[in-house]
Structure 1
Amino acid sequence: MRIVAVTTCPTGVAHTYMAAEAIQKAAEQKGHCIKVETRGAMGAENELTKDEIDSADLVIIAADAAVSKERFVGKRLYEAGTSRAVKNADEFVENAIIRARVWGSSTTEASGPDQRMAADEKEGARGAVSQIYRHLMAGVSFMIPVVVAGGILLAISFIWGLDSATAGDPSYNPIAAALNFIGGGDGALGLMVPVLAAGIAYSIADRAGITAGLMCGWIAKYIGAGFLGGMIGGFLAGYTALLLVKYIKVPKSLESIKAVLLIPVLSVGISALIMWFVVGAPVSVLLGMLEGWLTGLNTSNKLALGIITGCMMAFDMGGPLNKSIFAFSMIAFEAGNYVPFASVMAGGVTPPLALALSCVLFKNRYTSEEREMGKSAWILGASNITEGAIPFAVGDPLHVIPCIMAGSAVSSTFSLVFNCACRVPHGGLWATLIPNVFDNPLMWVLSIACGTVVGAVLLGLVKKPLSDGEEV
């Protein structure tokens, strides 16, 4: 059987390539001919050609972010999340072969949004939840490069001092002021919410949703509805555009007017007015209550939040729970409360570091291949790429996942208790090298060290020593 596949994840890093490798290996072992296109952080690699798609018997999409399926109309297609492919690729490929269904029709005029809505309706409640998560992750994948670029440039501006961008301050520096503007709330980080909303809307309605998504995100930012409002606005804009595309019918000769005039004007007007008069006010109140609760955390609340944060960051290592707590911390981050994000990042850094340390302390618990992966896990962990722990978790989930959850819970809790704060929404341990980015950076590093040791020791205790044959 000829198979073509596409893999992608919100960050375009670990899950994208791990899923691709797993699917390719499983398909080849079953005797199938396969080519996998990866859509990573830097764009498409090993891109599928039209001839390869036309000659394929099956299309597999393993994605946690939006993938346009227009080029696969008329082909048998199977779509699921990357985690299923990573955890059990053999079963994933077998399900794809059995359950794939023809996507769209070669004679259907609108094979994008219309068919996507029809597919959502057929999938029912469970499918709807899956689609909502996928749309949200698409928005996050659009937002992350903006957040990272803005955050790092903002952090660099702090080298001259926290007030180096303020005219008249003794530490004022024009380069720092420019970097602060480019990266800060008036620049890249100010685009965070509109880009999030546009990404969600694009995932729902393709290009028809982008304009309305940007506008709803900008309104959310303007009226103080923030990150939460941006998420709601993205869904509102996307589904508004999707309905308009489906139900507004015009003659073929007027299709261009529909695309560049009717849909943009109506989708922006309808969704933006609803956002302004209906959604904005209650979301702003809810956001204010949430921000107040986060600001007023006492020690007991910090313990509970730290445990929950660490466990969510480590449980699925870049999956839905991980991204959910990240989104929660960004609500506080946008409001100027940088403590929750430091806790989230501590929980994300710890799992790969704990496994890397455990490979050093308890070598006889790991195969030679795992010990080699442990070396790269040091770098991945320090860079806040939690996915570096996935290869270990896939091989031994019942032992690995509880241990790294415990380690991350320790790191996240200590980070909150020590009131550590990070003004950069990414960067991992490397961010501590930039002056003025962290409050209590030494205590933050100590928090991670404690969580790393706890996780590594627990792994050494629960994993059994391997025989000589198993080690190889």
Structure 2
Amino acid sequence: MKIVAVTSCPTGIAHTYMAAEALQMAAKELGHEIRVETQGSVGAENVITEEDLRQADAVIIAADTNVDKSRFTGLPVIEASVSEAIKDPKTLINKALNAKPKADLMQEVSRIKAEEKESRKGLYKHLMTGVSYMIPFVVAGGILIALGFAFGGIYVYENVGSFGEIIFSTGKLAFSLMVPVLAGYIAYSISDRPGLVPGFVGGALADKLGAGFIGALLAGLIAGYTVAFLKKYIKLPKSMQGLMPVLVLPVLSTLIMGLVMVLVLGGPVKSINDAMSAWLNNLQGSSAVLLGIVLGYMMAFDMGGPINKAAYAFGTATIAAGQPTPIMAAVMAAGIVPPLGLALATVIAKDKFTAAEIEAGKAGWVLGLSFITEGAIPFAAADPFRVIPSIMAGSAVTGALSMLFGCALAVPHGGIWVLFIPNVVTNLFFYILSIAIGTVVTALVLSILKKPVENSLPL
């Protein structure tokens, strides 16, 4: 049997490719042929062709973001999260092969939208679609801003036309687009392409009015559902249907979006945003440490899942114009620790890990240093009740120490590799110390909790 599949996670880095690999291995074991298109951070790879679709017996969409399903008309399609594909790919494959083809695509799309409306997972998908498109802008902008400071000094923006200022300005522009992009693609996830215009405009207004990240989230949701409402209730003659996507929907939805943001939401959300910023800026002592602990727990608990992504989105929202923030520092440090701690545990307690786990630990060093928390998933899947508490303990300690030491970070990704760019991190030594201590805590806790295994390597 021939299967085609699409995998996509919000960040497009780890889960996307882990799900693809799991499906490929399971299909091979079951004796089926599969082609998996990965929609990752670098765009679509191994793209499904027309010939693949003609030969396909079933379709699997393992995604936590919005995926266009229009090309799969007439084929049996099943949908799942990327974590389901990683944990139980064989079940998904069998389910897909036993599914019935979709007789009416429009009816199926309507059914899916109705289910999403009633499901929290649907709302989560819309938000994560926006976040997945936003992250490259945040990462590119943040790192270019830092490089601008590195080449041109702390007052680089005063030397207009210099090499450093050009890099700085380019990064600042990329960074400033994160709010409109977030809103635009949340709206896109809800109502497809007609949602882009009101979504982007709503996000731009949120940025202009000072409503920031929270305003963009609300703008994206309002824009998306406004377009969906207009599409449902505005009926034009067939001869005028072509005006709906290019004239009626963009104009009406954007007008509504502008009125809502300026007259209703802008002021109150700005007040909330300002209050939150003031609270974060005034965090000291025990309050800062407590927030660091909570962020650490969240980053480690599901290793790239919705709780992890919520903490990460919170961290990126605190970055303004590339200035270092303690929240982002705690978030990235806590996300680095789980794979590092597990890798260290495989070194200091080899008798408690299988040969395969020790090999996975070697990759854990690179994944952890690169801020890919998902590197802990193979260990957690094999022994969740010992691994998850261990990594949560290490990440919580790291988050708390990072906040206590007053560390701050100006970029939202890159792991250890970006820390040595000038002006990227505040209190570099203590930041690295926080990560090191959390790594050791995770390794020691897990070494104590785990029991020796029979097929382990000798110490």
Once residues 145 and 427 of structure 1 are traced to their aligned partners in structure 2, the CA distance between those partners, rounded to angstroms, is 11
Letter in 2 for 1:87: K
**1:219-274 C-alpha deviation (Å, 9 max, x unpaired):** 01000110111111111111112222333333444333222111211121112221
Once residues 175 and 426 of structure 1 are traced to their aligned partners in structure 2, the CA distance between those partners, rounded to angstroms, is 24
**1:22-51 C-alpha deviation (Å, 9 max, x unpaired):** 123233433433322211222222221233
Once residues 272 and 81 of structure 1 are traced to their aligned partners in structure 2, the CA distance between those partners, rounded to angstroms, is 35
1:141 Cα shift? 0.8
CA contact (8 A) 2:355 2:455 kept: no
1:161 Cα shift? 5.4
1:469 Cα shift? 7.1
Match of 2:415 in 1: 428
Match of 1:414 in 2: 401
Whether 1:19 aligns to 2:19 is yes
TM-score by length of 2: 0.93
**1:77-126 C-alpha deviation (Å, 9 max, x unpaired):** 2112111221232344445456x5655725x4xx8xxx64542324563x
Match of 2:69 in 1: 69
User: SS of 2:77's equivalent?
Assistant: strand
Query: Any unmatched runs of 5+ in structure 1?
Result: none
Whether 1:281 aligns to 2:234 is no
Match of 2:291 in 1: 305
**1:44-67 C-alpha deviation (Å, 9 max, x unpaired):** 222212333244332111001110
Once residues 295 and 448 of structure 1 are traced to their aligned partners in structure 2, the CA distance between those partners, rounded to angstroms, is 23
1:217 Cα shift? 0.5
Paired residue total: 457
CA contact (8 A) 2:352 2:450 kept: yes
Once residues 81 and 286 of structure 1 are traced to their aligned partners in structure 2, the CA distance between those partners, rounded to angstroms, is 33
CA contact (8 A) 1:164 1:177 kept: no
**The one of 426, 440, 450 aligned to 1:453:** 440
Change (3 A) 1:362 1:289: same
1:374 Cα shift? 1.7
User: SS of 2:185's equivalent?
Assistant: helix
Whether 1:372 aligns to 2:348 is no
**1:383-425 C-alpha deviation (Å, 9 max, x unpaired):** 1111111122222222211111111111111000111001112
Whether 1:120 aligns to 2:113 is yes
Once residues 33 and 278 of structure 1 are traced to their aligned partners in structure 2, the CA distance between those partners, rounded to angstroms, is 54
Match of 1:176 in 2: 164
CA contact (8 A) 2:117 2:123 kept: no
Whether 1:360 aligns to 2:351 is no
Match of 1:210 in 2: 196
Moved more, 152-161 or 194-203: 152-161
Query: Any unmatched runs of 5+ in structure 2?
Result: none
Once residues 235 and 116 of structure 1 are traced to their aligned partners in structure 2, the CA distance between those partners, rounded to angstroms, is 19
Q: CA RMSD in A?
A: 2.2
Once residues 250 and 88 of structure 1 are traced to their aligned partners in structure 2, the CA distance between those partners, rounded to angstroms, is 46
Once residues 455 and 340 of structure 2 are traced to their aligned partners in structure 1, the CA distance between those partners, rounded to angstroms, is 25
User: SS of 2:68's equivalent?
Assistant: coil
1:188 Cα shift? 0.9
Whether 1:265 aligns to 2:264 is no
Whether 1:150 aligns to 2:138 is no
Moved more, 328-337 or 80-89: 328-337
Whether 1:50 aligns to 2:43 is no
TM-score by length of 1: 0.91
Letter in 1 for 2:113: D
